[in-house]
Amino acid sequence: MAFSQLMSEDDGFSLSGGSGLGSVFGGNDAAEGNEDFSYTRPTATPKKQAATPANTGPGPVHVVSANVYKLVDGSYQSQGKLGCAILGNDDAAKQLYIYDASKQRVALVTLSPQSKFTTQANNYLSFYDDNRQGWSINFDQEDQATTFARHLALMCFKAASEPTLVVQDLFPASNESHPVMTGDSVAVRYEGWLYADGATGTQFDSNLKADSPFKFKLGKNKVVQGWEQGVLGMHKNGKRLLVVPSTLGYGATGSGDRIPPNAALIFEIHLIKHKSKAGAAEPEPTAVEPIPAATPASPSSVTETDGAPSQKAHLMERMAKMGQAMLPASPKQEGGAPEQQQPGQQQPMQQQQQFQQQPQQQQPQQ
């Protein structure tokens, strides 16, 4: 299913039918649902002798409501359930817009290929806004988190002033495993689509049903440069979305009747196996149980409770068994503020080779 069709309808944030964000941000149809999270975009005072066109701001591409946390003094504090809209289905700025029930903006991220969104365990997506304030969104379900991350990546690519590789992790893998480096060998499952102006187009390749994953060694230029650069830094069992400009794909020649000339491409990659260039296979990561927190609806839930260590441990164990949401990892746990550079970003190669189709399995080779 195309990513553009994976629109969340959580709490009535559908973008079709009814009245809500669909029309508020300039969409053709309004969305049914929670009127508390509808947002009326401020309109500029019209100048004399000049009519102000209606709904000229960026339209919504994807909208959900989710529990949002704010980073304060090194720890996250719950802000309750807020609206989270990805805007950019026209020529206006591409943005992540977070707002409250009183229709006030809470946070704004101007999207670009350098935007950094970090996926974390228990369906968290952490980032910094335009004011360098830290935030984390907690989605109710895994598919909501991955769908949101997909749309962010597509809008970041669309926002680029020049063709730029966009890399977005969809599923967090354990950082205990070693990241993929040049010279390493990997085995992956993948799907590939044509990029269609901020959305997914026709699927041109997939090995999800193949008997074995696709294997290649980084640095040998056996795959398109979008893969050579975009797979760097992945961890075993991780999933990543790549939006690849034509300069890092199949260039002006394209590939047969499946990939037209100058086509940007979308790949979703799942890293199955990883073998370092030294020859050692990546060991299975040790499972680490996350620290549980109270229900995220209350701001006090993210504040540590006073008490003896044994009481805290007992409480945490009980809450973990109850399936309570876990706190997002703090920047200290993640190694500091997110870097703006995309993993492995390099200059594109000057020459592109033709796509080679392998028997029984299509492979994204050059």
pLDDT digits (tens, 9 = 90+) for 76-127: 999 999 999 999 877 788 999 999 998 899 999 999 999 999 999 999 999 9
Of the pLDDT bands very low, low, confident and very high (cuts 50, 70, 90), residue 174 is confident
Q: What average pLDDT does range 24-52 have in this prediction?
A: 42
Pair 232, 181: CB distance under 8 Å: yes
- pLDDT, residue 329, reads 72
Backbone angles phi, psi at 171, to 5 degrees: -135, 125
Sequence-distant (≥ 6) Cβ neighbours of residue 133 within 8 angstroms: 70, 71, 107
The beta-strand segments (E) located in 139-233 are 166-171, 185-195, 200-206, 214-217
Q: Specify the range with the lowest mean pLDDT, choosing from 218-222, 251-255, 281-285.
A: 281-285
Q: pLDDT at residue 280 above 70?
A: no
Q: pTM for the whole thing?
A: 0.70
Percent composition of the chain: helix, strand, coil (DSSP 3-state, to 5): 15, 30, 55
Backbone angles phi, psi at 310, to 5 degrees: -65, -40
Q: For residue 88, is it left (φ>0), alpha (ψ between -120 and 50) or beta?
A: left
- pLDDT, residue 232, reads 96
Neighbours of 332 (CB within 10 A): 9
Of the pLDDT bands very low, low, confident and very high (cuts 50, 70, 90), residue 208 is very high
Of the pLDDT bands very low, low, confident and very high (cuts 50, 70, 90), residue 278 is confident
- pLDDT, residue 331, reads 64
Structure tokens at 183: 């010279």
Q: What average pLDDT does range 257-262 have in this prediction?
A: 95
> In angstroms, rounded to a whole number, what is the distance separating the alpha carbons of residues 321 and 317?
6
Q: pLDDT at residue 44 above 70?
A: no
Rg (CA), the chain: 22
> In angstroms, rounded to a whole number, what is the distance separating the alpha carbons of residues 146 and 168?
10
- pLDDT, residue 318, reads 52
Model pLDDT for residues 185-206, shown as the tens digit of each residue: 999 999 999 999 999 999 999 9
Neighbours of 49 (CB within 10 A): 5
For residue 208, CA distances in Å to 95, 145, 212, 277, 307 come to 33, 21, 9, 26, 50
Pair 266, 244: CB distance under 8 Å: yes
C-alpha dihedral (14, 20, 24, 25), degrees to nearest 10: -10
Model pLDDT for residues 301-341, shown as the tens digit of each residue: 333 333 344 454 555 555 554 445 556 776 666 554 444 43
- pLDDT, residue 245, reads 97
The beta-strand segments (E) located in the chain are 60-72, 75-87, 95-99, 105-110, 118-120, 124-128, 134-138, 166-171, 185-195, 200-206, 214-217, 239-244, 265-275, 356-358, 361-365
- pLDDT, residue 300, reads 32
- Residue 53 Cα to chain centre, angstroms: 33
